Structure 1
Amino acid sequence: MKPGCICYVTDRNYLFITLVSAMQARAQVASSRADVLLLAIDDGPEIDTYRRICDREGIVFLNVAARAEAVLKDALGDIYRTGFAGRISAATLVRLVISDFVTGDYGRMLYIDGDTQINGSLDILLQRDLPAGRFLAARDYTSVMRSAGFAVPDRFSPNFQRLGVPEARRNYYFNAGVIVSDFEDWKTIGRNALAYFADSGGTLQFHDQDALNGACWEQHLPLSNRWNFPRQFLHLRARLSYQPEIVHFMANPKPWHGVLPPWGKKEYGAYREVIDRYPELAGDIPTLSPARFQAYRLKSTYYDLRDRLQVRRNGRIAAILDEQFLDVPHRAADRPPTSATPRLVTQP
């Protein structure tokens, strides 16, 4: 048995982006400690190119296109056939059933979204003791804001009543972009979440993330945002006791679009460096139209300046981000209250 695996799941649109993060992850953990696996759910002529590059970079490339469709159709039935067109990426759900496609014998699984950058060693996530049946995930952006005492617009806020998440746990609604679990435990955790998604009729607002929070909050233990750092808070890095090890670039714009606050040349350059190394991938980097790029530049500059000037707000948010859940024993207040198995609350 190998101690661990670091898993990525991507569709064709994010294949290049995910490769960059996977290459960074490979550089941050010894091959004796973990395999880095990239699961591609779409087939196409570019697959051989990515397989060759992954082989060169020490990344295990798995083309699971045919199998992924079969697994999701079996689990979701009509939801898969009618509910995915342009609305839900199958990659978001395949992460729930990674063990259906990975045949290796692993102790620990670290799942990472492709729109991330890895800045430091991942060893602590692969080595830390984890209670049986539990998994680690960091607060979502909305939970950080809520924990700091700020309102979250309804369109960004989960429907906690529908998910059946108790009041005491709502500030711990977690982001599904980085998950740490024992590999065997994830077989049950992920399947329970997929069944929950199916029971919802595919109508959950935040898809697999809502499904995991609704079905599995009792198994969840908080992880420091050091390991899943929302890019909206990059301007607060100097206020923290740590530097983010994994930055998650949620929402548009993205760092591969260009140098746009709050990130700089380093974050943008990570994608250009891979293009310089593998010029055959140059056409795969997602781009924006010039007009949209300039609109994002103005918007990003405004929000970055505004956020930097909000001193009191910044202090409250930084205090939440600075909580080191991974580095200390979990406090009693952080443990989910005992209750019956969570279930989806039927909407009237």
Structure 2
Amino acid sequence: MGQKTAIIFVADRNFLVPSILAMLQISRQKDTMSVSDLFLFTTDLNSEDFQTITNIAKNHGIKTINLDLNKVLNEDQSLSFRKTHISISALGRFFTGSYIDSKYENILYIDGDVQVVGSIFDLANADIPDGKILGVIDRQFLKAKERDKSGVKTREYLKNIGVLHEKDYFNSGILAAERKTWINLCKEAFDYFINNSEGCMFHDQSALNAVCVGRRLPMSPKYNFTTMFAENNVLDIVQPSIIHFTGAEKPWFSKARPWRGRFMSSYADLLKQFPQLEAFYSLREYFHSSGQSGLSKIDRHANRMWFLTRILTPWRIVLRRRRLVNYLKTKQFFI
């Protein structure tokens, strides 16, 4: 009996090192690998660099695929892509399904800015209903109920993409679906993005949420423990298997809260193990793609927002955590 699930990562040059680290963490899970294979899609490497990555990956059971975005993204299409720390390679996920052999029942997509700290066997081995996708609530779940300008903007955003209740909006960093469902939903989402790119504030995530209304099954944040959950101090309640570092403060360079540099050493250790990866570890390129001027600016901004929230609106911290804890206690998760 073959592997059930294809676990896929999509990475441009800036996210190759963290993606490889996360994939190696998965590769050490014997139970997960008994039902899964790992696939790394690269989006912007020349043939020499792709071979370098392939040589590292193949020794750890990771299959590499060169995804040429210039071919799959029609140059005649005029797309609006809001400048953030996210690059246009995020759209690459929409084209991955056709590269995955039909022998795999499921696709489990994972962003590269994660650390896998516990078993994901149950997720990799899940029996997912046809036509459904598994995902975890995102920050909009908390912001949409608030009465400030950010809350108003959040509600307008959700309404514009057809999401009627904030609990139905999901983070796109970790998703799971049957292979055929994944292909169909990704095609729908890309078509939506082409026609509505200016309204897709969060790029591929916005498009996926727009087309998946009524088709998303709630997944436990154990498998996508975003920065939102860490900020609201629910680590002990959730006990995550995948920590997802959302926002611009990535753990391979940032010492900002809530993690304060806790994971930085693991990336340094990876570079010692594979010094050839140094060529793919340019923080300067990350700054350029994110519109940031440097490490200190990213951390200063994050820490400033942390303090301002707690000084100017301390009630918000209490209410957000209360709402999140209540959700965790009362929600029935598919997995």
- For the aligned pair, the TM-score class normalised by the smaller chain equals 0.7 to 0.9
On the 8 A contact 1:307/1:314 being kept in 2, the answer is: no
Matching of residues 262-281 of structure 1 within 5 Å: 262-281=258-277
1:256 pairs, out of 252, 256, 269, with 252
Q: CA deviation at 1:322?
A: 5.2
On the 8 A contact 1:158/1:210 being kept in 2, the answer is: no
Give the equivalent residue in structure 2 for 1:334. Answer: none
Query: The residue matched to 2:248 in structure 1 has which SS?
Result: coil
Quick check: 1:59 aligned with 2:62?
yes
1:304/1:270 Cα in 2 relative to 1: closer, same or farther (>3 Å)?
farther
TM-score by length of 2: 0.82
Indicate the percent of aligned positions where both proteins have the same amino acid. 26
On the 8 A contact 1:139/1:174 being kept in 2, the answer is: yes
Matching of residues 321-340 of structure 1 within 5 Å: 321=328, 325-326=332-333
- Write the letter of the residue equivalent to 2:41: L
Give the equivalent residue in structure 2 for 1:139. Answer: 137
Q: CA deviation at 1:121?
A: 0.9
Query: The residue matched to 1:138 in structure 2 has which SS?
Result: strand
1:99 pairs, out of 89, 97, 100, with 97
State how far apart, in whole Å, the 2-side matches of 1:136 and 1:124 are: 13
On the 8 A contact 1:145/1:317 being kept in 2, the answer is: no
Query: Which segments of 5 or more consecutive residues in structure 2 lack a partner in the other structure?
Result: 288-292
Give the equivalent residue in structure 2 for 1:171. Answer: 167
CA RMSD of the aligned region, Å? 3.1
- Write the letter of the residue equivalent to 1:318: V
- Write the letter of the residue equivalent to 1:79: Q
Q: CA deviation at 1:220?
A: 1.1
Query: The residue matched to 2:109 in structure 1 has which SS?
Result: strand
State how far apart, in whole Å, the 1-side matches of 2:213 and 2:222 are: 21
Q: CA deviation at 1:255?
A: 0.8
Matching of residues 220-299 of structure 1 within 5 Å: 220-237=216-233, 240-287=236-283, 292-299=294-301
1:33 pairs, out of 35, 57, 82, with 35
State how far apart, in whole Å, the 1-side matches of 2:256 and 2:322 are: 23
Query: Which segments of 5 or more consecutive residues in structure 1 lack a partner in the other structure?
Result: 329-348
On the 8 A contact 2:189/2:208 being kept in 1, the answer is: yes
On the 8 A contact 2:144/2:155 being kept in 1, the answer is: no
Q: Deviations over 1:216-274 (max 9, x none)?
A: 21211121222212214324445642212222212122111143321145421221121
Q: CA deviation at 1:12?
A: 2.0
Matching of residues 168-207 of structure 1 within 5 Å: 169-200=165-196, 203-207=199-203
1:129/1:174 Cα in 2 relative to 1: closer, same or farther (>3 Å)?
same
On the 8 A contact 2:232/2:320 being kept in 1, the answer is: no
Quick check: 1:121 aligned with 2:89?
no
State how far apart, in whole Å, the 1-side matches of 2:88 and 2:98 are: 14
Give the equivalent residue in structure 2 for 1:213. Answer: 209
State how far apart, in whole Å, the 1-side matches of 2:140 and 2:218 are: 15
State how far apart, in whole Å, the 1-side matches of 2:6 and 2:277 are: 26
Give the equivalent residue in structure 2 for 1:333. Answer: none
1:150/1:137 Cα in 2 relative to 1: closer, same or farther (>3 Å)?
farther
Query: The residue matched to 2:212 in structure 1 has which SS?
Result: helix
Q: CA deviation at 1:13?
A: 2.2
1:162/1:265 Cα in 2 relative to 1: closer, same or farther (>3 Å)?
closer
Query: The residue matched to 1:181 in structure 2 has which SS?
Result: strand
Quick check: 233-242 or 39-48, which moved more?
233-242
Quick check: 1:48 aligned with 2:48?
no
State how far apart, in whole Å, the 2-side matches of 1:311 and 1:204 are: 30
1:322/1:32 Cα in 2 relative to 1: closer, same or farther (>3 Å)?
same
On the 8 A contact 1:257/1:286 being kept in 2, the answer is: no
Q: CA deviation at 1:278?
A: 0.8
State how far apart, in whole Å, the 2-side matches of 1:84 and 1:312 are: 33
State how far apart, in whole Å, the 1-side matches of 2:186 and 2:89 are: 13
Query: The residue matched to 1:177 in structure 2 has which SS?
Result: strand
1:4/1:253 Cα in 2 relative to 1: closer, same or farther (>3 Å)?
same
Quick check: 272-281 or 226-235, which moved more?
226-235
On the 8 A contact 1:8/1:38 being kept in 2, the answer is: yes
Matching of residues 313-324 of structure 1 within 5 Å: 313-321=320-328
Give the equivalent residue in structure 1 for 2:290. Answer: none
On the 8 A contact 1:230/1:247 being kept in 2, the answer is: yes
State how far apart, in whole Å, the 1-side matches of 2:221 and 2:211 are: 22
Q: Deviations over 1:139-173 (max 9, x none)?
A: 111224436x57545666662332223x3x33321
State how far apart, in whole Å, the 2-side matches of 1:322 and 1:48 are: 47
State how far apart, in whole Å, the 2-side matches of 1:170 and 1:264 are: 29
1:274/1:301 Cα in 2 relative to 1: closer, same or farther (>3 Å)?
same
Number of matched pairs:
319
Q: CA deviation at 1:114?
A: 0.9
Query: The residue matched to 2:268 in structure 1 has which SS?
Result: helix
